[in-house]
Amino acid sequence: MDRKLLLEHVLVEGINGIDGYQKKGGYRALEKALNSMSPNEIVEEVKKSGLRGRGGAGFPTGMKWSFIAKPEGVPRHFLCNADESEPGTFKDRYLMEKIPHLLIEGMILSSYALGCNLSYIYVRGEYMYIIQILEKAIAEAYHKGYLGKNILGSGYDLELAVTCGAGAYICGEETAMIESLEGNRGNPRIKPPFPAVKGLWGRPTVVNNVETIAAIVPIVNEGGDAYAKIGIGKSTGTKLISACGNINKPGVYEISLGISVEEFLYGDDYCGGIKNGKQLKACVPGGSSVPILPHHLVCKTANGDQRLMSYESLSDGGFITGSMLGSGGFIVYDENQCIVKNTWNFTRFYHHESCGQCSPCREGTGWMEKIFHRLEHGHGKIEDIDLLWDIQRKIDGNTICPLGEAAAWPVASAIRHFREEFEWHVKEPALCLVKNYGLVGINIPVLNNA
């Protein structure tokens, strides 16, 4: 059975308020840190824990923290990335809704460790009710003396504010988020310089994901070594997974990293298997930006090893036969789902969300979307499949930020693993339309020749 470090008390009544949270040990880590730990000691514990960023890239958090520049007399900032707009990912929303103080305690601990006195939580604009929950929780924390001047008599000051996201997926990219916080359009910046050197208002800044920040609380409470004992290899600790699609039990699960994908997908404690007794067709294990895995590569790697819920195992085989843990958005497709239609859907999203700064992303996502539209509507040509392949190749690696790659990888993996399905759309357009849209009786040949 998994250790629950973040969601252990999620079902306790009143846990969303400060009194309920304190009854379950809340703010104990903060008291411990401010009474007996220096900022550097916290950074060392985080390094020992092996915690990796839960926003998608999996970069080691302790290492990121140690990069922050410390020029004399220049303020530093700590930012929480709560923009969560990746299709299939809804774990941060759950955590903030149910246990807002866990995030706030993590924010104070992290800000203290990094020497920041003004921090922000940047929340996706569509999560308006979450903004209200967080504002209430922050007011409670100020009232108890956990925020503001001279916190718990330690001499440490911290102001914490929530800001409303600007309504674009790209604002989740950390430099776009910084631009947006500064009041500008959320366009990603060219790096270097990285935010740790030149971030918000040109000052050293660290950006972390909601779940990463919440994990600082158990790390300070129990120590980095204890945290590192959970998990497998370099995938330490627990991870929130938002599971959706054709499964019996969609929801947010906290798993110990290293359990098998098979157990997660079919086990009664997790997804509970494929809905309506159908067969598994494919799975996107880490949010819409990561490669899709066909059914035979979901629970096993290409070498026949058991596939595990870990950074390493999910990417085993690279992009040829593997994928990524990403943001932990686990999307499951049964035998009836159309991969072309699904990939078109993702491509539409990325085209809509491209900020337009780089031509390969701006033009390429739109071009791919048009081709998918043709394929889905009975106008596709067999050359379109190679054209799609060529376009995604030219986006990948040629853009300012990773949104371009996020748009390219699902297309590449869909063609790699499901080429026959693309061809079927060209050869049997009428059947595809009937299957995907139930369009019986329309004049398919006319559509096909248009």
Ligand X SMILES: Cc1cc2nc3c(=O)[nH]c(=O)nc-3n(C[C@H](O)[C@H](O)[C@H](O)COP(=O)(O)O)c2cc1C
As a whole number of angstroms, the distance between CA 204 and CA 196 comes to 5
Which residue reads 């949270």 in tokens? 21
**Can you give the binding site for ligand X, defined by CB under 6 A?**
53-57, 59, 81, 83-85, 169-170, 172-174, 207-209, 212, 401-403
- Please choose which of ligand SF4, ligand X, none residue 302 contacts, taking the beta carbon within 5 to 8 angstroms, the exact cut-off set by kind: none
Chain-centroid distance, C-alpha 361: 20
- Please choose which of ligand X, ligand SF4, none residue 206 contacts, taking the beta carbon within 5 to 8 angstroms, the exact cut-off set by kind: none
Our CB check for ligand X shows the closer of 6 and 297 to be 6
Which residue reads 């990403």 in tokens? 326
Residues whose CB is less than 8 angstroms from the CB of residue 441 and which lie 6 or more positions away in sequence, other chains included: none
Which residue reads 């690696």 in tokens? 397
CA distances (Å), 179 to each of 112, 171, 183, 195, in order? Answer: 24, 8, 7, 11
Residues whose CB is less than 8 angstroms from the CB of residue 126 and which lie 6 or more positions away in sequence, other chains included: 85, 165, 167
As a whole number of angstroms, the distance between CA 91 and CA 252 comes to 6
CA distances (Å), 190 to each of 66, 77, 86, 198, 280, in order? Answer: 22, 20, 22, 12, 41
As a whole number of angstroms, the distance between CA 229 and CA 49 comes to 8
Our CB check for ligand SF4 shows the closer of 49 and 399 to be 399
User: Closest distance between ligand X and the C-beta of residue 207, in Å?
Assistant: 5
User: Closest distance between ligand X and the C-beta of residue 176, in Å?
Assistant: 7
User: Closest distance between ligand X and the C-beta of residue 85, in Å?
Assistant: 5
- Please choose which of ligand SF4, ligand X, none residue 362 contacts, taking the beta carbon within 5 to 8 angstroms, the exact cut-off set by kind: ligand SF4
User: Closest distance between ligand SF4 and the C-beta of residue 359, in Å?
Assistant: 8
The neighbour count for residue 148, using CB atoms within 10 Å, is 14
- Please choose which of ligand X, ligand SF4, none residue 315 contacts, taking the beta carbon within 5 to 8 angstroms, the exact cut-off set by kind: none
Our CB check for ligand X shows the closer of 353 and 376 to be 353
User: Closest distance between ligand SF4 and the C-beta of residue 28, in Å?
Assistant: 41
- Please choose which of ligand SF4, ligand X, none residue 208 contacts, taking the beta carbon within 5 to 8 angstroms, the exact cut-off set by kind: ligand X
Return the structure tokens found at 35: 């009474």
**Can you give the binding site for ligand SF4, defined by CB under 6 A?**
170, 188, 354-358, 361-362, 399-401, 403-404
As a whole number of angstroms, the distance between CA 53 and CA 8 comes to 21
Our CB check for ligand SF4 shows the closer of 166 and 247 to be 166
- Please choose which of ligand SF4, ligand X, none residue 14 contacts, taking the beta carbon within 5 to 8 angstroms, the exact cut-off set by kind: none
- Please choose which of ligand X, ligand SF4, none residue 361 contacts, taking the beta carbon within 5 to 8 angstroms, the exact cut-off set by kind: ligand SF4
User: Closest distance between ligand SF4 and the C-beta of residue 189, in Å?
Assistant: 9
